[in-house]
Structure 1
């Protein structure tokens, strides 16, 4: 997915599966804790349905639409972790497995989750911007971290 777009601009876009079937509307966008890049989109699948998380990579923007390269049935059967909460590394790995996305065989770390705050949220929720006062400060880097592949972890916006 394009990395130069504002994650907030994804909210409200219609999402479609690989065959052009409508999935729903993007409700929230989750950022990777390590890079700050958009990682997952929560798609509201219907008026009385739940939000499902879809990976933004390898999804793509086509015009004003988010095209998700998976079948609608697979998307609708994704694990339900609720929306508006930080994804744990284990939950994120479960989502990658569900979509058949290889993440270089990385195991989830045993370190506690870090929440870098919400940049933008559900457009129906007032006051969801956290770029101003009261936004949590990022944790300082841990010098004793062991080298190796970083397991992706996400936060939502």
Structure 2
């Protein structure tokens, strides 16, 4: 998805599945803790329904709607974490698995921390 879009501009937009069927309306947008890039959207799936989390990558903003490249049934079966709270790393992991998305690369480990210059690695 375009990263130059103001996440607040997504709120209130209609969301559609891969076949163009309406899923619901974007209720909230969740940013990546490390980068601040919009990562997930909570989509209200009906008047008395719950919010379903959808990945913003590889979703596309086209016209006045958010187009999510997954079937509506899969989206509606996404884990329910409620809205208005921070997503934990465990919850994000569940969402990545649900959508069969490759996990983002882990931060590079600093293996030489505390090692004196000139020492050989063991």
Question: TM-score normalised to the size of structure 1?
Answer: 0.67
SS of 1:27's partner is strand
Tell me the distance in 2 between the aligned counterparts of 1:94 and 1:4. Answer: 27
Alignment deviations for residues 100-154 of structure 1 (CA, whole Å, 9 cap, x no partner)? 0011575xxxxxxxxxxxxxxxxxxxxxxxxxxxxxxxxxxxxxx9449xxxxxx
- Equivalent in the alignment of 2:14: 14
1:62-73 equivalence runs, <5 A: 62-73=62-73
Q: What number of residue pairs does the alignment pair up? A: 111
When the two chains are superposed, the root-mean-square deviation of aligned CA atoms in Å is 1.9
From the superposition, tell whether residues 62 and 78 of structure 1 become closer, same or farther in structure 2 (CA, over 3 Å). Answer: same
Matches within 5 A, 1:15-54: 15-54=15-54
Q: Using the alignment, how far apart are the partners of 1:91 and 1:43 within structure 2?
A: 16
Match of 1:94, SS state, is helix
Q: Distance in 2 between matches of 1:78 and 1:30?
A: 16
Question: What is the alpha-carbon distance in structure 1 between the residues aligned to residue 35 and residue 19 of structure 2?
Answer: 31
1:93 alignment partner, SS class? helix
Larger radius of gyration: 2
* Deviation larger for 96-105 or 26-35: 96-105
2:59, 2:31 → 1: CA distance?
Answer: 15
Unaligned stretches of 5+ in structure 1?
107-144, 149-157
- Corresponding residue SS for 1:41: strand
Structure 2: stretches of 5+ with no match in the other structure: 112-122
Question: Take 1:104 and 1:42, find their aligned partners in 2: how far apart are those partners?
Answer: 20
